[in-house]
Amino acid sequence: MTDSRRPPDVDRIAASRRAVAARRERAALKRDVTTRVITPQELLRRALADPDSAAGAMRVPEFLTAIPAVGEGKRDRILAELAISPVKRLGGLGARQRRDLREFLDRRWPEPQPRPGRSRLVVLAGPTAVGKGTVAAQIQATHPEIHLSVSATTRPPRPGEVEGEHYFFVDDAEFDRMIAAGELLEHATVHNRFRYGTPRGPIEKVLTDGGTALLEIDLQGARQVRAADPSAVLVFLLPPSWDELVHRLVGRGTEDAEERARRLRTARTELAAQGEFDYRVVNDDVASAAEQVVAVASR
């Protein structure tokens, strides 16, 4: 006789596979919060939108310790302050607890807010390998009315790159001359190797004519543009998840372990700068990310 209360082996195996997959999904989400690919508020929104999702099934203490700078001591103080039991899952929070947790997160780690009165100078930056170049190229193809800035660089051209279209390829002496003559809006040495800079003249002309200029530059450049023109719109491009960024960064497997680790450290530092930006756009689909950047640029 079979025991009807005991699920057949196949069911148990399937259930344990599902449990492993759910645990993996929760772990990936926690990495996203820890590396700042998503804000704690975003994870909470996902959990409340779908309590049966991986986010919804996450226990509140797990969620809290995923937040950078929250250790076990702080976690326990937060739980006590908000009167939330440590066994609670995010998807199972009561209405008051949801509100208190959201307000607490907003107070402690405010999400970047768009600032009104922005100019039509738009900067697109983000961590290495997030796909800034692809998104910028997509905007250029679909929105020719937006002027994509052509940078000057001391890097030699790659096969297929066209002078004046992809870059102005210059030598060190010419780059120095451009800096000295004040011809660059910003400039930086990228990846400790070559110098890149945004020619000021074409940007000023576009803005004077009432057009929109888009700069696809690195983080140091974005900061200089903000300093030079505080009304510039800064857009930070995010990967859909930390795991996806890791995949894009090291996926080709052509770098050694040390180089891979260096790139991942850089990506974490870069992600930590997103609070300085006005908007964040997730690059999970190039066409949709491009449209979101255009929407920001044409408000």
Q: Contact residues for ligand 5GP (CB under 6 A)?
A: 132, 151, 155, 186, 188, 190, 196-198, 216-218, 220-221
In the complex with ligand 5GP, which residue's Cβ is closer, 41 or 220?
220
In the complex with ligand 5GP, which residue's Cβ is closer, 78 or 217?
217
Q: Hey, what are 285's tokens?
A: 């689909």
Residues 6+ apart with CB under 8 A from 66: 29, 30, 31, 33, 34, 40, 43
Q: Hey, what are 64's tokens?
A: 């809290």
In the complex with ligand 5GP, which residue's Cβ is closer, 74 or 166?
166
- For the bound state, the minimum distance from the C-beta of residue 183 to ligand 5GP, rounded and expressed in Å, comes to 12
- For the bound state, the minimum distance from the C-beta of residue 202 to ligand 5GP, rounded and expressed in Å, comes to 12
Q: Are 249 and 226 in contact (CB under 8 A)?
A: no
Q: How far apart are CA 114 and CA 278, in angstroms?
A: 5
- For the bound state, the minimum distance from the C-beta of residue 268 to ligand 5GP, rounded and expressed in Å, comes to 16
Q: Hey, what are 148's tokens?
A: 């994509």
The distance from CA 284 to its chain's CA centroid, rounded to whole angstroms, is: 11
Residues 6+ apart with CB under 8 A from 260: 249, 250
In the complex with ligand 5GP, which residue's Cβ is closer, 91 or 127?
127
- For the bound state, the minimum distance from the C-beta of residue 190 to ligand 5GP, rounded and expressed in Å, comes to 4
Report which residue's Cβ sits closest to ligand 5GP: 221
In the complex with ligand 5GP, which residue's Cβ is closer, 140 or 220?
220
- For the bound state, the minimum distance from the C-beta of residue 99 to ligand 5GP, rounded and expressed in Å, comes to 40
Measure Cα distances from 227 to 205, 222, 233, 234, 286 in Å: 20, 9, 12, 12, 29
